[in-house]
Amino acid sequence: MVSTNKIDKKRIWVDGCFDFAHHGHAGAMLQARQLGDSLYVGIHSDEEILVNKGPVVMKLAERVLAVSACKWASVPVPDAPYVTDPVVMDEYGCFYVVHGDDITTDANGEDCYRVVKDAGRFLVVKRTPNISTTDLVGRMLLCTKNHHLRTIQGREIDDAVANARSGKAKDGLLTRESLEKFETYATGEDGRSAWDGVYVWTDDDRHLRPIVQPSSELVKKTRKVVYVDGGFDLFFAGHIEFLRQVSAEVEQLSRQAGEPVGLVVGVHSDATVNEFKGLNYPIMNLFERALCVLQCRYVSHVVLQAPYVPTLAFLDTLPWHTIKVYHGPTSFSHGVADPYAGVKAAGKYAEIGPHQYQDISTETIVERVTSNRGLYEERQRRKGWKAAAEDELWRRHA
């Protein structure tokens, strides 16, 4: 990694554990990126997180991969100190560090940002509510399903969008808050300009409706696309590496076609994921999973409630010419028919080969937590104790 001693107030620093690539982490990076021209992201080591917070679920290499895939992150910095150090920031030429409007403490109960605050190098952004690594671990340990969202039908979609825009809808996939989040996460690498497109598929009437319009520039660049789909639950290293490799294929197809090719990602509904996975899957609901996909630098457009089987008829309804449908090296659930049989027969199917994260799945990540239940329950208890201490610190300094 190349560092610099030239300090630039437009070169922003943000740091954290980034355990799970959830949309709260992406939201912090987005807001930090909006404050400058480039974003350096410090990622704490497994060892420092264990001492100060508890065991990680995702190892350092997986967390670095996730940060690198976020379109608002300019440079990932592995092994950043848990207590933010201005000396390290100086090495990368960053004047300001950005953090949410809460207080994070170290193992001794002291504010991790006390030094940079005293130096006048601390900027505050709004913390994303209702999502954290602690929340996700809690869903795994408690096997809850109350976070799942109901599938929207075609006969109600127009009213659902209208109610969301007027503020009448208070819950579900489409609310004023969720539409604002989709629009914000659909911005480009600067975190400000409109870029990606977001659509909702309604299976009962087989119709695709835009809820966030892509930029005119992106429309020109994505007349031809490749399509991938999945649950993308917990948006882990396997998903990210798959999308990275598909993106590389897209670049090659673009060169062959002599024109840009885009990547469209279909994200299955909670009901669809639960039908095939059972238990309390998905751990993240559709809104959360879609934002994870949308923040990924490899993605052009996102289709919500995408059908489990991407039939040729479905692909024909998309506003792009789909030249390939890609799938990863993972197998289908036992006894489930191949959902790609139709596109295979039409010669539109392609498969990404083996990669180092192919054996990781949502189930194996949940197993990491449940097989070490005692350690993660202790982490949850420590988080509760630390939260009380952090709230008290916040009240003192408010």
Task: Kindly state the average pLDDT of the residues 273-286.
Answer: 94
With a CB cutoff of 8 Å and minimum separation 6, the contacts of 345 are: none
User: What is the 3-class SS of 172-191, one letter each residue?
Assistant: CCCCHHHHHHHHHHCECCCC
Q: Enter the DSSP assignment of 77.
A: E
Instruction: Please name the fold of domain 4-132.
Output: Rossmann fold (3.40.50)
Domain 154-360: homologous superfamily in CATH: HUPs (3.40.50.620)
- pLDDT score, position 46: 96
Nearest CA-CA partner of 309 in 330, 331, 336? 336
Task: Kindly state the average pLDDT of the residues 344-370.
Answer: 91
Which pair of tokens denotes residue 294? 């949308």
* Residue 249 pLDDT greater than 70, yes or no: yes
- pLDDT score, position 109: 85
* Residues 196, 185: Cα–Cα separation, whole Å: 8
Task: Kindly state the average pLDDT of the residues 373-381.
Answer: 63
Q: Where are the domains of the chain?
A: 4-132, 154-360
* Residue 375 pLDDT greater than 90, yes or no: no
- pLDDT score, position 22: 79
Task: Kindly state the average pLDDT of the residues 297-309.
Answer: 97
**If pLDDT is split at 50, 70 and 90, which confidence band does 337 have?**
confident
Task: Kindly state the average pLDDT of the residues 320-329.
Answer: 95
The C-alpha R_g of the chain, in whole angstroms, comes to 21
Q: Which has the minimum average pLDDT: 150-154, 231-235, 333-337, 388-392?
A: 388-392
Nearest CA-CA partner of 136 in 280, 284, 332? 284
3-class secondary structure, 318: coil
pLDDT greater at residue 375 or residue 284: 284
- pLDDT score, position 206: 95
The pLDDT > 70 percentage for the chain reads: 90
Burial of 310 (0-12, 13-18, 19+ CB in 10 A): buried
Average pLDDT score, the chain: 90
**If pLDDT is split at 50, 70 and 90, which confidence band does 61 have?**
very high
- pLDDT score, position 102: 76
Q: Decide if 4-132 and 154-360 have a common fold.
A: yes
* Residue 334 pLDDT greater than 70, yes or no: no
The pLDDT > 90 percentage for the chain reads: 75
Report H helices in 129-170: 133-142, 154-166
- pLDDT score, position 370: 80
Q: Which has the minimum average pLDDT: 4-8, 52-56, 72-76, 96-100?
A: 4-8
Task: Kindly state the average pLDDT of the residues 62-86.
Answer: 97
**If pLDDT is split at 50, 70 and 90, which confidence band does 2 have?**
very low
Task: Kindly state the average pLDDT of the residues 148-163.
Answer: 95
Burial of 234 (0-12, 13-18, 19+ CB in 10 A): buried
**If pLDDT is split at 50, 70 and 90, which confidence band does 243 have?**
very high
**If pLDDT is split at 50, 70 and 90, which confidence band does 86 have?**
very high
